[in-house]
Amino acid sequence: MKAAVLKSFGSPLVIEEVPAPVMGTGEVLVDVAATRVLSYTNEVFSGERRYLLELPAVPGLGAIGRVRAVGPDATHLAAGDWVYCDPTFRSRDDSISPDITLQGWSARGEGGLRLQRHFRHGTFAEQTLVPTENAKRIGAIDPADAPSWCALGTCLVPYGGFLAARLQPGETVLVNGATGNFGSAAVAVALAMGAACVVAPGRNEKVLSDLVRCFGPRVRTVTLGGNEDDDRERMRRAAPGPIDLVLDLMPPSVTTPTVRAAIMTVRSYGRVVLMGGVGMQGGPGLDLPYPWIMRQCISIHGVWMYPPEAAFGLVNLARAGLLRLDQFEVTTFDLDHANDAVAHAAANSGPFKMTVLEPNR
């Protein structure tokens, strides 16, 4: 099969023929219709992000595709089913604390690397191999809509955070990083789940205005000035009442005070979800005041990705029309132009923009 292979960090992808995956029990073989190219893919491929990814490998993080074949343990999946290939692979021999690898992207520790060595390749290829439980049926779709359905992968990340913090209809949410790709998706997901109001801070006034234009008065924007105390007060005043939940999705380049300012807007007994990248590339930690956490009874949730059942809930929101996947502006590339897709994704990383490879086009 044809695939885009990363031979070494800092080198371009090589488009070449590689052996097709060999399916075993507990696995599903999928023909890849569409797969996202994340905005920071160039940082992963250059080695800047220092992700655990053994090379050479076919990269690629999740996909929309059609089942080609299933193993003997599959009782519902069948050839021809449209599926979302969930890239979060978990070891099956410890359900309490499983090892995790993100397919074709990054592993968590030595156990995650062992998983990665088996499920060696990602989705920048004509076919991909996933554990049976990672092929999530999405129902029948028009093949032309497969690129738009890739937005599931973007929306699932904040959805996992909201599930962990048990977001309830009618609550007020602050999304820190709302002007970014994952952050803007978080605004859409929170509203789809019934949030009464989403406070959206940021420095890009155009993007903030676009969020209000897209979602209406349930979004309250805040232009940040850079002073931690002033920004915190400005965010609190923007909310119609106490802020019940703060979701942080800031990238590694953001400073600690910017993140702390948003987190400490949450009300007493409120919840904070940390899903961003602060400290991943060195530098100071978050440094939240112990007395504030304790006396205000703040719950802090560290969340990486989302639980296995999350995809089904998000598909239901999309099928019900509560979450619009068609609001994403999609630019597609064929596999031969994978390097162009990586460059395009880096240069076009705004809200509701998505770069997609179509390996079988």
Q: Are 36 and 330 in contact (CB under 8 A)?
A: no
Residue 72 has pLDDT above 80, yes or no: yes
What are 168-215's pLDDT values in tens digits?
999 999 999 999 999 999 999 999 999 999 999 999 999 999 999 999
> Residue 11's beta-bridge partner residues?
none
Residue 279 has pLDDT above 80, yes or no: no
Percent of the chain with pLDDT over 90: 91
As a whole number, mean pLDDT of residues 47-52 equals 91
CA distance 57 to 48: 17
Q: Domains of the chain (ranges plus CATH)?
A: 2-149+328-358 (3.90.180.10), 155-302 (3.40.50.720)
* Residue 95: pLDDT band with limits 50, 70, 90: confident
Residue 283 has pLDDT above 90, yes or no: no
Q: Provide DSSP, 167-225.
A: --TT-EEEEETTTSHHHHHHHHHHHHTT-SEEEEEES-HHHHHHHHHHHGGGEEEEE--
Q: How much is the mean pLDDT over the chain?
A: 95
What are 221-259's pLDDT values in tens digits?
999 999 999 999 999 999 999 999 999 999 888 889 999
Residue 44 has pLDDT above 90, yes or no: yes
Pairing of strands 88-90, 100-102: antiparallel
What are 300-341's pLDDT values in tens digits?
999 999 999 999 999 999 999 999 999 999 999 999 999 999
